[in-house]
């Protein structure tokens, strides 16, 4: 097509079904997490980079504008676990500062600001199981970023990684399934970015990976028993599986040498979906049994 649109593939090697047919390209999208009857998508107009959020009903194909429709950037969707609404980041207040908002997409009057900030580098990393706490990332530069905890009820923002650690990159925070700690990536006191775990009760930090290469991203399995994390090793991606109980990890064999653009763990099966570019293929999607 002339523009990037959304497609669904229900099983490996299954038929690809296109589900959006707009003139403008789709930026990203997120299914409503309980029934999946609609999704929230973002798109701009004419490449103006002012992405707006829309509700897209998969039965009626009705598209409903949710945000202001003006010169604002909207995205970074994170759903409540019960699917009653989602949190997102937006510059709608003044066009430059990226505040945090909440919305029930079935009630257009429900939108409200949760956190007002200064700067455009703020984003939502994860949401607690009870939907009461958000992990918030603050991007300052390629050489410095921090994590915060936001209490949704009272709007209180608390440092998670010390804000006075200049020149430290900390990001991609994800709650452990028992909610007692948070996994994240940091290069604090390390030459390379590593996967770590911080206990929220004791504040003890444990380094889970000890690899002389940068950990780029990770995903926690639905049951919390495994973490998959990828590294960039001399320009080639490697994928590892870590047992959260024993903290032992090993590389997953059989993946062609190339660059992993992203991956996600299946909810009900021990599979991982991988976007992979390599010498014989450009950015195809694979599934891998782990």
What is the number of other CB atoms lying within 10 angstroms of the CB of residue 262?
14
pLDDT band at 268 (very low <50, low <70, confident <90, very high): low
pLDDT tier at 289, thresholds 50, 70, 90:
confident
Which residue spans within 44-161 are E strands per DSSP? Answer: 52-57, 63-65, 74-79, 86-90, 99-104, 107-115, 122-127, 133-141, 144-151, 157-159
Q: What region does 109 belong to: left with phi over 0, alpha with psi -120 to 50, or beta? A: alpha
Q: Distance between CA atoms of 232 and 83, rounded to whole angstroms?
A: 35
pLDDT tens digit sequence for 31-80: 999 999 999 999 998 889 999 999 999 999 999 999 999 999 999 999 99
Mean pLDDT score, 109-116:
96
Residue pLDDT, tens place only, 252-266: 988 888 999 889 887
Q: Residues 160-184: pLDDT tens digits?
A: 998 888 889 999 999 999 889 999 9
Residue 106 has pLDDT above 80, yes or no: yes
User: For residue 130, which of 191, 194, 81, 79 has the smallest C-alpha distance?
Assistant: 81
Count of CB atoms within 10 A of residue 54's CB? 24
pTM, full prediction: 0.92
Model confidence at 195: pLDDT above 90: yes
pLDDT at 213: 96
Indicate whether 145 pLDDT > 80.
yes
């Amino acid at each position: 097509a002339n523009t990037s649109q959304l497609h669904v593939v229900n099983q490996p090697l299954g038929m690809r079904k296109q589900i959006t047919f707009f003139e403008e390209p789709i930026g990203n999208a997120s299914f409503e997490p309980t029934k999946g009857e609609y999704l929230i998508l973002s798109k701009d107009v004419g490449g103006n980079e002012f992405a707006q959020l829309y509700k897209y009903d998969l039965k009626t194909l009705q598209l409903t504008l949710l945000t202001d429709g003006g010169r604002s950037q909207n995205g970074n969707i994170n759903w409540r676990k019960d699917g009653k609404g989602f949190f997102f980041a937006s510059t709608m207040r003044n066009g430059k500062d990226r505040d945090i908002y909440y919305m029930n997409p079935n009630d257009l009057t429900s939108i409200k600001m949760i956190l007002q900030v200064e700067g455009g580098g703020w984003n939502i990393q994860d949401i607690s199981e009870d939907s009461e706490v958000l992990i918030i990332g603050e991007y300052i530069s390629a050489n410095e970023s921090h994590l915060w905890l936001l209490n949704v009820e009272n709007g209180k923002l608390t440092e998670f990684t010390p804000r006075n650690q200049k020149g430290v990159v900390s990001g991609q925070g994800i709650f452990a399934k028992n909610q007692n700690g948070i996994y994240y990536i940091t290069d604090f006191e390390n030459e390379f970015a590593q996967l770590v775990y911080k206990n929220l009760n004791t504040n003890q930090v444990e380094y889970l990976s000890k690899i002389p290469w940068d950990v780029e991203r990770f995903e926690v399995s639905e049951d919390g028993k495994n973490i998959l994390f990828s590294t960039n090793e001399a320009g080639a991606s490697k994928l590892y599986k870590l047992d959260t109980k024993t903290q032992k990890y090993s590389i997953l064999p059989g993946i062609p040498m190339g660059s992993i653009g992203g991956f996600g763990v299946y909810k009900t099966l021990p599979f991982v979906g991988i976007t992979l570019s390599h010498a014989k293929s450009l950015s195809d999607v694979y599934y891998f049994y782990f």
